Each structure stands twice: as C-alpha cells, then as structure tokens.
Copies of this chain bind each other. A is one copy, B any other.
Amino acid sequence: MKAEIISIGTEILLGDILDTNTNYIAQRLPGLGIDLYTTHQIGDNLERLTELLRVAWSRSDVILCTGGLGPTEDDVTRDGIAAMLGETPEVDQRLEEELRQWFGRRGAHMPERNLKQAWLTPSTKDIPNPRGTAPGWWSEKDGRIIIAMPGPPAEMSRMWDKEVAPRLRERATDAVIVSHTVKTVGLGEGTVDEMVSALLKSRNPSIGVYAKADGIHLRITAKAPTEAEARELIAPVQEEIERILGPAVWGHDDDTMELAIGRLLRERGLTLATMESATGGLLASTITDAPGSSSYFRGGLVAYATEQKIAWGVPAEVVEQHGVISPECAKAMAAAAHAQLHTDIGVAVTGVAGPDEQEGKPVGTMHVAVHDGFDDHVISYQFAQGREAAKRRAVTVAFQLLRRVLLARG
C-alpha cells in the first residue's frame, strides 16, 4: 500500500508554523505496512491543491491530508477533495446538529461560517473529532482512499490514533516494515560508518547511519510478512552492531538521554539534584521529561543572579577569584546542589547563553560539572549557535558527563 502525505496551509509555506503532523504520521506508517514515498506542503490555494491531489490520486493508494478544515474562507481542503473526486459537498443534517450542540455546550452561538465543517460528499464519511469543531473526512472511490484530518496537532494525533490508524490497519495487507534504532555517543558519523561498513551492504534488513543532537544513530529496518519475522531479521544485525560499537551504545528506539540516565540512577539507587544558570531550568526540565523521575530527582536550583548562587552555597571566594563563568564555579555549583538537596549527585551548568558576552568570556562558553560526593568532573567547551541551541547543547553535554560518571561507578 503506497501512501502520500499532504499538509495544507499557507502558514506552513510562509514558515509561520512548523509542520509536525507529517512527522507524526510518517513515524506510524511503517508499523501498518504502508510505504511512504513522498510528502508535500502546499498553500491555501484551491487550484494548486486540486492539481496536487489529482497527481497524488493517480499514483498512491492512500492520501493523508492535514490542515485546511477550519471554518475560515482560507480553508479549502474539503473543496479540493470534492473537486478532485468530481463531487459536490452538501451540509449533513446530523453533523450540523452536532456542531450546533458543540457550540451550545460552551454557551456560544455557532458562527454561520462554521457550517462548512458539516459538509460531506457522496463518497465521504465523517471522522469524529471530540477535540475540535472540524470532523475529518474519509473518502473512498475506485479502490483508493483519501483522508483529511484537522491541522491542530492535538486534534490530528487523536484522530490518527483512535480513528484513522485502526481502520487503515485493517486495509493494509502488505508486508510490515519494522525498525530498530541503536543510539551511540562519542564517535563521529564517518567513524561509525567505517566500523559497521561490512553491514551496510545488507538490503533486508537495511542499515542507515544518522547524525543526531544526542550522538550517532543506526537504524536497522526489515521488511517481512509479519512483525515477528521482521524482528528475527533485525536481531542478529543488532547484536553484531552492539558488539562492534560496545560501550558507545547508550540506548535504543524511543530512548532519550534522560531515560537512559534515569535507568542508570535507579540501578545504582542514587539521587540527583541540579544547579544551573545558563540553561535557566532546561536541565531540570529535561530530567523531569522522563516519567518516574521523581524517584531519583529531588529538585533543582535555577541560580540566575550571582548573589543567588552564593546564597545557595557557592563560596563567594570562588566567584571572586574565578568569576561565575568558570570550571571552578561549575564545580562549586554541582557540590552546592548535592549539599542543598541532600542527594548523591549534583550536576551544574554555568556559561554564557548570549546574546552578550559576560565577564569578558565569549557567547557560547559553557562549563558543565558533576559532583558525586567523592570527585568533581567538569567539561568546558564553546558552542555559539544561538541562545536556545546553546541551552539544549549544554543539557546534552551534562547528560554525557553524568553517564560517564555513573558508568565509572559500575
């Protein structure tokens, strides 16, 4: 079964919004045995949308559209699908009634323009959308399917999970595609590529090497009649990759650095606290993105003002002698987090997030430290690619240092 995704909205082409819906759907197609060959973004232009729909309809078994189902004049997805199918949309009585009730429950009067959200065509059934006013469209004709889902990600993802994916799963009869990702840190992309080069010739499973913010990932992808058979193809290749890359492997699939760190802390029965300035709370926030982090993370201090660092236990002499942008201050902050929150480990970040330099130290200067009750560990580096990227990078470096310290504790 061949699929094509089309995201509709001039705001996407103007760069006003980032299209995350395509990524959400793309991640979920392989598990349904559906191949995705191409995706498109197109504006709120009825003529161009209809033309693209015609081309996609001629070559794909299923077209997945998102966006353009709102109540405004710009929202042309229904019009485009109807034109491509050669049908005329009409207001459906039941949908109109449901729509008026939706507004009624909120004590609001339905604007007349919302009526187009009650449209259907002869080949179209509606798809329920309890999170918004726009039902989806499921149209079938000549053995092909076109589906339209709303653009707001919360509405789209629910509709996909609860309505669209289960129905597509019944239709898709092709082989399933299963992937397994092995995540490494500490080796470059070319190095990893050379280390596993003998395996890269393999076609089923195939192996892709990707550079990511948290290291180099290897994706092993197998195609087979059933998921179990696909996993059997993957297993020996995965084992071989892990043997070759050894301790550089830190995780798999949906693993994140914060989950991996959480496992290491739990296995060792250790607790963690943070003190951060340059990252402004992002380190603590990322640690707590891991469900269950309350079992090892006690809390954190965001010491943005210098006096606040001192009030929370950084010796004033350290600040006087080395400044706050220094490895010494990072170490003192990690020790202070450890002491203030009575944890086994303290981790700290100080640096210059920008846009201005500080203490004469350039933007992007970062010092990351871990205090484990016995020793201090510190990494200092420079990363000047913007304030938010610098914050994210510092969090990744903190996780790498934490991992190294935790592994050394066995």
Chain A interface residues toward B at CB < 8 A? 10-20, 22-30, 36-44, 48, 52, 70-74, 108, 111, 113-114, 133, 152, 154, 179, 181, 188-191, 193-194, 200, 208-212, 217, 219, 221, 274, 276, 279-289, 291, 293-294, 297-305, 308, 341, 353-356, 385, 387-389, 391
**Chain B neighbourhood of A42, CB < 8 A:** 37-39
**Chain B neighbourhood of A26, CB < 8 A:** 12-15
**Chain B neighbourhood of A20, CB < 8 A:** 18
Q: How many copies does the complex hold?
A: 2
Contact of A72 among B193, B221, B286, B353 (CB under 8 A): B193
Compute how far the CA of A287 lies from the CA of B40 in the bound complex, rounded to whole angstroms. 35
**Chain B neighbourhood of A73, CB < 8 A:** 200
CB <8 Å contact, B14 and A221: yes
Question: CB-nearest residue of chain B relative to A51?
Answer: B38
Compute how far the CA of A293 lies from the CA of B302 in the bound complex, rounded to whole angstroms. 13
Compute how far the CA of A113 lies from the CA of B285 in the bound complex, rounded to whole angstroms. 40
Q: Offer 19 A-B interface pairs, CB within 8 angstroms, sorted by A.
A: A10-B208, A13-B38, A14-B26, A14-B221, A15-B24, A16-B179, A37-B42, A38-B41, A38-B42, A39-B40, A44-B208, A70-B211, A281-B285, A285-B302, A294-B304, A299-B302, A299-B303, A301-B302, A302-B302
Question: CB-nearest residue of chain B relative to A37?
Answer: B48
Contact of A308 among B11, B17, B154, B299 (CB under 8 A): B299
CB <8 Å contact, B302 and A300: yes
CB <8 Å contact, B36 and A13: yes
